[in-house]
Amino acid sequence: MTTTPPTELSLEARLKDEILDMYREVAEHPEKEFHFFHGREAAEMLGYDPAALDRAPAGAVASFAGVGNPHLRAALAPGERVLDLGSGAGLDALLAAWRVGSEGRVVGVDLNPTMCRKAEAHVGAAGGRFECRLGRMEEIPVDDGAVDVVLSNGVLNLSMRKRRVIEEMHRVLVPGGRVSIVDIVSARPLSESVAKDPKLWAA
């Protein structure tokens, strides 16, 4: 059995608190300034269809905080079962729910109870079939082989245990399942001061 050194553990716990605080703000006060692009401006910049953004609940669009567009390569089809990892306020989950239709299903997983509540309200109001499960991407609360496609938008970079998250994605996918991940990658190793600062990491 491998154990995480205590210092890593406390850094991960502090990172979780930072992430909870930051995304609660994004969920409840999307009108505020953040140090990352968010809302409609970000979604349009990343190639989301403006007509779909018009149709989506305003709250899902305003609190969108993705870093790319996982739908461009996901090729979702009617009837598929989708997991949206770190589903936030639900914009990606809603677009997926529209694509898979009433025969498919979308499950979201998010650390943040405020985000989970908002995502369910937003997707439900727009006629999508969706359930948000409160949980962590490092221990995805989904059965083995239960989904056809995993989507994730700007979430993996927030984990200190990325290999574990990838293993979890594989566990929940059916054999031959697909992933569409968009994220931030640093071409250079982060400096010690950045890597050990939960505020910067959460950012």
Output the smallest distance, CB 121 to ligand SAM, in A.
14
Of residues 90 and 177, the one with the C-beta less far from ligand SAM = 90
Q: Applying CB under 6 A, does 137 fall inside the site for ligand SAM?
A: yes
Per CB under 6 A, contacts with ligand SAM among 107-126 are 109-112, 115
d(CA 111, CA 109): 7
Per CB under 6 A, contacts with ligand SAM among 179-198 are none
5-13, 82-90, 170-178, 191-199 -> range binding ligand SAM (CB under 6 A): 82-90
Binding residues for ligand SAM, rule: CB under 6 A, are 19, 23, 64-66, 86-89, 91-92, 109-112, 115, 136-138, 153-155, 158-159
